[in-house]
Amino acid sequence: MSDIACQAALAAPDTKTPGAAWPAVFSLSFGVFGLVTAEFLPVSLLTPMAAELGVTNGAVGQAITATAVVAALAGPLLVLGSGRLDRRVIVWALMAMLVVSSVLTAFAGSVGVLLVARGLLGFALGGFWAMMTALALRLVPPADVPRAMSIIVMGVSVATVVAAPLGAALGALWGWRATFLAAAALGALSLLVQLLVLPRLPSVGAPGFASFRAALSRRAVLIGFATVIIVVSGHFAGFTFIRPFLEEVPRLDVATISLALLAFGVGGFLGNPVAGMIAARSPAWAAGGVSLLIGAASLLLALFGGTPAVAFAAVALWGFAFGGFPVAVSIWNARAAPDLAESSGALLSSSFQVAIASGALIGGFLIDGIGPHGVIVYAAAAVVLGAGVMLTLGRAAERTRAGA
């Protein structure tokens, strides 16, 4: 039995199931697909939303910020407040929040209502991510946890591929309000599937502040969080501003940029299962390896990005690498603290959101100060540093745990 299997079996012996609940696992992947699709929709609908609400693009852009800020707080708050509730009831409630948020957004008459709606989505998104690892540990036998995590995170990869182009297409066809109603319908369908297939998941204890302190006292957990903050902030510092780079350096037209971003999404879809297979054996190698690939892709852009073919290939490689990162670090976190899955999962979710916000902020300063080349070089340096953390400290912790 693998190390994660041994630890999970010891940590939660009363939650083992005789077989894997794969329909429930796929329903969670469907759920996270709906959540991330709703999260990304304003990116492709920003201009018409701003025009109809009578505000600037920047004001509507704060809807995205509101989602991330609330998501960063939601995970720990949900875990602390969940008490002894059946976990499937919590999942159902989070999916219902997605539906309500999308309906509110569709009928928003002001930026204030829009921010409230997006904050509600942020709570659902952050809460779902916080519970994801704990749910995987309970829905499948321990040896199948890496595969289950890969399937659940696959919903993110698919949403990354389809959300922006689908949102733009539906927005042009139906208008942005109807597009958000479609997102509500997607959330309702996901909720219906989960109502049918999720088994009872009674609480095995009411997590409190002590469980968060315990998670933060584990060196392996902290190594994972440090890697996430460094790599994800570097990634978002660069990739948030990839369009101006592609416009100014290789001078790609809009159609080619769209194809490059589609290649990024397809690459992420392919990178997810590859990283999941590697992480089943060594999550440190998986997380560190894909981080190095992100660094290589961004360095290619910085050095040779003036050549359109190289720029296109580098963006696709970047997508492949980053598509594998969330599943790799999620499996790392599950292995580092299987007995504190809800608390460590909540903290991991918050780490992602903090990294996203800080990365975009740093990238904004850099692109205004030194231009698109500077922000890509910073991204390369940051993700390589994060890879170094995981491939040195992480591998050492992994070897120590294997020998224990």
Q: Is the pLDDT of residue 203 over 80?
A: no
Question: 129: buried, middle or exposed (CB in 10 Å: 19+, 13-18, 0-12)?
Answer: buried
The CATH class for the domain spanning 209-403 reads mainly alpha
Residue in 173, 355, 151 with CA at minimum distance from that of residue 269: 151
Mean pLDDT of 193-218: 82
Q: pLDDT tens, 13-34? A: 333 444 678 999 999 999 999 9
Question: What CATH number does the domain located at 13-197 have?
Answer: 1.20.1250.20
Render 171-187 in DSSP notation, one character per residue: HHHH-HHHHHHHHHHHH
pTM of the full predicted structure? 0.76
Q: Is the pLDDT of residue 213 over 70?
A: yes
Q: Write down the pLDDT at residue 328.
A: 92
CA dihedral 359, 239, 306, 385 (to 10 degrees): 50
Domain spans, the chain: 13-197, 209-403
Handedness of CA 103, 104, 105, 107 (dihedral sign): positive
Q: Write down the pLDDT at residue 18.
A: 47
Mean pLDDT of 358-387: 87
Mean pLDDT of 103-117: 91
Question: What confidence tier does 4 reach under pLDDT thresholds 50, 70, 90?
Answer: very low
DSSP 393: I
Q: pLDDT tens, 315-333? A: 999 999 998 998 899 889 8
Q: Which two tokens stand for residue 257?
A: 């940029």
Q: Write down the pLDDT at residue 61.
A: 66
Q: Write down the pLDDT at residue 8.
A: 35
Q: pLDDT tens, 176-201? A: 999 999 999 999 999 999 999 999 88
Q: pLDDT tens, 261-284? A: 788 888 888 998 899 899 989 999
Q: Write down the pLDDT at residue 359.
A: 82
E strands of 101-163, at which residues? none
Topology match between the domains 13-197 and 209-403: yes
Q: Write down the pLDDT at residue 33.
A: 93
| Arithmetic mean of pLDDT over the chain | 84
Q: Give the angle subtended at the CA of 34 by the CAs of 73 and 352, to the nearest 5°.
A: 35
Q: Write down the pLDDT at residue 295.
A: 95
Q: Do 162 and 266 form a contact (C-beta atoms < 8 A)?
A: no
Render 233-278 in DSSP notation, one character per residue: HHHHHHHTTHHHHHHHSS---HHHHHHHHHHHHHHHHHHHHHHHHH
Q: pLDDT tens, 28-56? A: 999 999 998 998 787 667 778 888 888 77
Dihedrals phi, psi of 206, to nearest 5 degrees: -95, 105
Question: What confidence tier does 11 reach under pLDDT thresholds 50, 70, 90?
Answer: very low
